């Protein structure tokens, strides 16, 4: 029973990672860049939630405000920092992204100070059935992320915009020739990714209510790792990688001997998987041509 | 005078650092330096070494490494431990030398281990692997037992005479420069930059890409390890929190601000950033300290966008430092830019400069069109 509880907990951590990893992987697939600032969008979402929650006390309103603000932030970051660098070397874009990440962190610290803020989203208890005791937030996280991820998969597969996204990630030039507005698609991708990050921020704050300006840093890196494990650019890969990371984390934290090394184990899995499959589990192998 | 300058130019950075080392050494022996200045000099030396070694990987090999602090961490802990053990039996100086070698060698070994997956991965994948490596190393040292590496409290390292450590550090910087610069300017260096510019073409030309990638990773991590050992001597305690990926990024910022593929640029940027860092730390305290990060972030974003955005291309070409400098010179033939190495140092009977230079003067005495017009 204990193991099943751990597994469910792992799935919930994993689905949070998967939500963040989706943001990384979609942006990578479409704009071919690593959005290092993605983790900090989670943190901004968290602060937006905190502000709305203290003002109105309504968590739904808080979530809505966080999602909208993060979408706008994602679009602004893309327009101001990344768009001028279209076509520049990947390294230049990556370094700008790192700069944006620092900018968000330090701005948040200037506005809200360095002391952690307590965000009590809603007091949810535990539920028990068939001998299992599971916190409600774990179930909420699992169900919400499942719904969101299914919706996203359907959106990408069946709507015009979603298919345009696939087209842009396959071949930007050809997509443009087919009449797809590439800039618009990139903008939408950033907006969706940032909205997912806002949800992930909510899930993380439900788990532990302490909010600082580095809230998104470590989960961001881990989700990024998850996206790479799954094969960056692949949406099912990001989900798989995220879940894998979460389950590994939950199990490893339960074993006292290796619990302190949980981070190291997760990163080690990344290195091992990349050694066997250099483009991740579901990543497409691209042959470079001259 | 100009002739001497031309001859000295490739070695200018050695000369400048050497002279400065001498000046500071004399100053410190006569008591002209405060201990805060000495501490800053040590920090600057460590930063230069880190930036120059990372610039080999990022600027010359063209692979992104986000785990440079990890190599430094390995060097700092193992070198520090080594000096702890050896200091009582061997004495100060031999212990320093041995621990420098041990720290560097173990870091180099890790460089090879990280270099091996680097052969299979490229670009962003390699960046995340190096980042993961740095975090693994940090996590392992952080959770070590108190007897082995001090655990979360950090490893206490022996003290070294404060007034001479920075001189040793600066001499090591010179050694690091000599190795990297000579490597880059040799035929091996050409091979390395060719891998950066086009790996497939380099492979097709018969360059052993595997070998060179491993060489660069090994040399670079060796010097990062040595910088780590110096850090352990300069700080008395080594704490794993210092070597987070933020520190790797700080080193990367130095390389990028200095200009990719420019060793001198890395040196200047490392010096400036470390200097500003320490000065700002004393000025900005408490809540203001975060302003420093804000400035860094803004400067980083603006410089990268300015240097790379296609929108600023015309502006950039018109108003860069090189164009301004060219205005001061009378005759400026078009240069072939190739990462510091000078064509005129290639021993050859042909005067390479004349062959390669393109005369850009508009009022050239020989213009064939004018002659034709005269005939008509």
Chain A residue with CA closest to B136: the answer is A264
Which chain A residue's Cα is nearest to B248? A98
- As for the ipTM of the complex, it is 0.84
Q: What is the token pair recorded at A287?
A: 């042959």
Q: Tell me whether residues A113 and B287 touch, CB distance under 8 A.
A: yes
The domain over range B16-308 is classified in CATH as 1.10.3470: yes
Say yes or no for a CB contact (<8 Å) between B133 and A98. Answer: no
A268 touches chain B (CB under 8 A): yes
Is there a contact between A88 and B200 if contact means CB atoms under 8 Å apart? no
Asked if the C-beta of A145 comes within 8 angstroms of chain B's C-beta atoms, the answer is: no
**What pLDDT was estimated at residue B356?**
52
- 3 state SS of B362: coil
Minimal Cα–Cα distance from B146 to chain A, Å? 14
Tell me the chain A residues in contact with residue B61 when contact means C-beta distances shorter than 8 Å: none
pLDDT at position A170 over 80: yes
| Confidence check: pLDDT of A197 > 90 | yes
Residue of B nearest to A114 (CA): B287
Best mutation target among B196, B273, B297, B306 (most A Cβ atoms within 10 Å) is B297
- The single residue listed with the structure tokens 């700008």 is A96
Q: What percent of chain A has pLDDT over 70?
A: 97
Give the minimum alpha-carbon distance from B250 to chain A in angstroms, rounded to a whole number: 10
- Full-model pTM: 0.82
Residues of chain B found within 8 Å of residue A228, distances taken between Cβ atoms: 124-125, 128
- Å from A213 to nearest chain B CA? 11
**Smallest Cβ distance to A228: which of B125, B139, B249?**
B125
Contacts of A86 in chain B (CB under 8 A): 310
Residue bearing tokens 């990297």: B180
Segment (H or E) for A243: helix A235-254
The answer to whether the CB of B207 falls within 8 A of the CB of B194 is yes
Nearest CA to B344 out of B1, B3, B63, B30 is that of B3
pLDDT tens-digit series, residues B125-171: 888 889 899 999 988 888 887 777 877 777 888 777 777 888 889 99
Distance from CA of A274 to the nearest CA of B (A): 8
pLDDT over threshold 80, residue B234: yes
Q: Which residue, among A21, A94, A107, A272, would best test binding to B if mutated, counting the most B CBs under 10 Å from its CB? A: A94
Averaged confidence pLDDT in chain A = 89
A107-128 burial by CB neighbour count: b if 16+ within 10 A, else e? bbbbebeeeebebebeeeeeee
Contact flag B135-A264 (C-beta cutoff 8 Å)? yes
The residue among B293 and A7 whose pLDDT is bigger is: A7
Q: Is pLDDT at B343 greater than 60 in this prediction?
A: no
Q: For residue range A25-54, what is the model confidence (pLDDT) as tens digits? A: 999 888 888 888 999 999 999 999 999 999
Q: Could you tell me the pLDDT band of residue A288, with boundaries at 50, 70 and 90?
A: low
CB contact under 8 A, B252 and A221: no
CA distance A99 to B300: 6
Inter-chain CB proximity A288 and B305 less than 8 Å:
no
Minimal-distance CA residue of chain A relative to B200: A290
**A260 and chain B in contact, CB less than 8 A:** yes
Number of CB atoms found within 10 A of residue A1's CB: 9
Q: What is the pLDDT of residues B258-280, one digit of tens each?
A: 888 889 999 999 999 899 888 88
Q: When comparing pLDDT for B301 and A1, which is higher? A: B301
Partner residue facing A278 (CB), from B64, B120, B304: B120
How many angstroms separate the CA atoms of B163 and A127, rounded? 66
Give chain A positions within 8 Å (CB) of B293: 102, 105-106, 109
**A35–B contact, CB cutoff 8 A:** no
Degrees to nearest 5, angle at CA A231 with A228 and A236: 115
Has residue A71 got a pLDDT over 80? yes
pLDDT at A171 over 50: yes
For an interface test with A, which of B143, B305, B310 has the most A Cβ atoms less than 10 Å from its Cβ? B305
Q: Name chain A contacts of B120, Cβ cutoff 8 Å.
A: 274-275, 278
Domain boundaries, chain A: 2-215
Find, in chain B, the residue whose alpha carbon is nearest to that of A89. Answer: B308
Cβ of A106 under 8 Å from any chain B Cβ?
Answer: yes
Q: Which range, of A78-92, B1-15, B312-326, averages the lowest pLDDT?
A: B312-326
Residue B215's alpha-carbon distances to A274, B56, B103, B190, B209, in angstroms, are 22, 10, 18, 13, 10
Which A-chain residues 215-234 have CB contacts (< 8 A) with chain B? 221, 224-225, 228, 232
Q: Do B301 and A110 touch (CB under 8 A)?
A: no
DSSP one-letter string for A37-72: THHHHHHHHHHHHHHHHHHH--HHHHHHHHHHHHHH
How far is A262 from A260, CA to CA, in rounded Å?
Answer: 6
A139 to chain B nearest CA, in Å? 30
The residue of B57, B128, B197 whose CB has the most chain A CBs within 10 angstroms, and thus the best one to mutate to test that interface, is: B128
- Give the separation between CA A53 and CA A193, rounded to whole angstroms: 23
**Do residues A26 and A195 touch, judged by C-beta distance below 8 A?**
no
Q: Which residues of B touch A109 (CB under 8 A)?
A: 290, 293
A84 closest CB neighbour out of B121, B127, B309: B309
Q: Are A109 and B318 in contact (CB under 8 A)?
A: no
Q: Which residue of B has its CA nearest to A37?
A: B297
Phi and psi at residue A258, to the nearest 5°? -105, 0
Give the domain ranges of chain B.
Answer: 16-308
Q: E-assigned strands of chain A?
A: 117-118, 126-129, 132-135, 210-211
CB atoms A99 and B64 under 8 Å:
no
Put simply, the answer to whether A100 touches B139 (Cβ < 8 Å) is: no
Q: Work out the pLDDT band at B38, boundaries 50, 70, 90.
A: confident
> pLDDT confidence of A189, banded at 50, 70, 90?
very high
CB contact under 8 A, A95 and B256: yes
Find, among B73, B295, B45, B307, the residue nearest to B177 by Cα. Answer: B45
| Per-residue pLDDT at A289 | 58
Cβ-Cβ pairs closer than 8 A, A with B, add up to 130
- For all residues of chain B together, what is the average pLDDT? 81
* 8 Å CB contact of B245 and A85: no
Residue A109 at interface with chain B, using a CB cutoff of 8 Å: yes
* SS3 of residue B330 by DSSP: coil
With an 8 Å Cβ cutoff, are A267 and B143 in contact? Answer: no
**Which residue do the tokens 């640029």 mark?**
B265
Instruction: Read off the pLDDT of each residue in A240-265 and give the average, rounded to a whole number.
Output: 90
């Amino acid at each position: 029973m204990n193991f099943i509880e751990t597994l469910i907990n792992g799935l919930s951590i994993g689905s949070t990672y998967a939500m963040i990893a989706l943001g990384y992987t979609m942006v990578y697939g479409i704009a071919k860049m690593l959005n290092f600032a993605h983790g900090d969008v989670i943190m901004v979402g968290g602060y937006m939630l905190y502000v709305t929650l203290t003002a109105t006390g309504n968590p739904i309103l808080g979530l809505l405000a966080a999602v909208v603000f993060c979408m706008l932030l994602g679009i602004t970051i893309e327009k101001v920092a990344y768009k001028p660098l279209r076509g520049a070397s990947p390294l230049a874009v990556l370094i700008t992204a790192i700069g944006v990440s620092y900018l968000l962190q330090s701005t948040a610290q200037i506005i809200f100070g360095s002391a952690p803020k307590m965000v009590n989203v809603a007091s949810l208890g535990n539920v028990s059935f068939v001998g299992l005791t599971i916190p409600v937030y774990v179930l909420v996280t699992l169900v919400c992320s499942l719904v969101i991820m299914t919706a996203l998969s359907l959106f990408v597969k069946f709507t015009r915009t979603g298919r345009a996204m696939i087209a842009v990630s396959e071949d930007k030039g050809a997509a443009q020739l087919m009449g797809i507005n590439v800039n618009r698609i990139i903008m939408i991708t950033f907006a969706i990714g940032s909205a997912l990050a806002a949800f992930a921020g909510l899930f993380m704050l439900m788990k532990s209510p302490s909010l600082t300006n580095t809230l998104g840093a470590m989960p961001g890196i881990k989700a990024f790792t998850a996206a790479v494990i799954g094969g960056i650019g692949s949406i099912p890969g990001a989900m798989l990688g995220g879940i894998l990371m979460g389950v590994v984390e939950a199990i490893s934290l339960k074993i006292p001997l290796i619990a302190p090394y949980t981070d190291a184990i997760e990163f080690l899995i990344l290195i091992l998987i990349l050694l066997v499959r250099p483009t991740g589990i579901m990543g497409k192998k691209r042959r470079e041509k001259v | 005078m100009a002739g001497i300058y031309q001859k000295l130019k490739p070695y200018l950075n050695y000369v400048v650092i050497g002279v400065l080392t001498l000046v500071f050494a004399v100053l410190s022996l006569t008591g002209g330096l405060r201990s805060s200045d000495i501490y800053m000099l040590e920090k600057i030396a460590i930063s230069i070494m880190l930036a120059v070694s990372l610039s080999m990987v990022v600027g010359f090999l063209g692979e992104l490494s986000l785990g440079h602090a990890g190599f430094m961490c390995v060097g700092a802990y193992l070198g520090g431990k080594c000096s702890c053990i050896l200091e009582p039996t061997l004495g100060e100086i031999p212990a320093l030398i041995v621990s420098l070698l041990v720290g560097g060698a173990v870091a180099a070994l890790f460089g090879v281990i990280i270099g091996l997956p680097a052969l299979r991965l490229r670009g962003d994948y390699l960046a995340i692997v190096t980042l993961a490596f740095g975090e693994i190393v940090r996590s392992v040292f952080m959770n070590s037992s108190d007897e082995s590496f001090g655990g979360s409290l950090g490893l206490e390292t022996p003290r070294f005479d404060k007034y001479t450590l920075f001189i040793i550090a600066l001499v090591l910087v010179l050694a690091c420069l000599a190795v990297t610069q000579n490597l880059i300017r040799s035929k091996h260096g050409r091979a390395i930059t060719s891998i950066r510019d086009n790996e497939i073409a380099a492979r097709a030309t018969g360059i052993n890409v595997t070998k060179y990638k491993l060489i660069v990773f090994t040399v670079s991590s060796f010097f990062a390890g040595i910088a780590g050992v110096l850090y352990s001597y300069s700080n008395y305690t080594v704490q794993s929190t210092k070597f987070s990926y933020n520190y790797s990024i700080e080193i990367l910022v130095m390389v990028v601000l200095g200009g990719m593929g420019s060793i001198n640029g890395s040196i200047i940027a490392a010096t400036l950033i470390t200097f500003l860092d320490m000065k700002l730390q004393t000025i900005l305290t408490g809540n203001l300290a975060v302003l420093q990060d804000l400035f860094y972030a803004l400067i980083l974003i603006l410089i990268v966008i300015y240097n790379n955005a296609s929108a600023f291309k015309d502006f950039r070409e018109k108003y860069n430092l090189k164009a301004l400098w060219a205005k001061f010179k009378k005759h400026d033939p078009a240069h072939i830019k190739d990462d510091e190495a000078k064509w005129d140092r290639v021993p050859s009977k042909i005067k390479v400069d004349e062959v390669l230079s393109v005369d850009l003067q508009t009022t050239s005495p020989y213009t064939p069109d004018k002659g034709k017009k005269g005939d008509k």
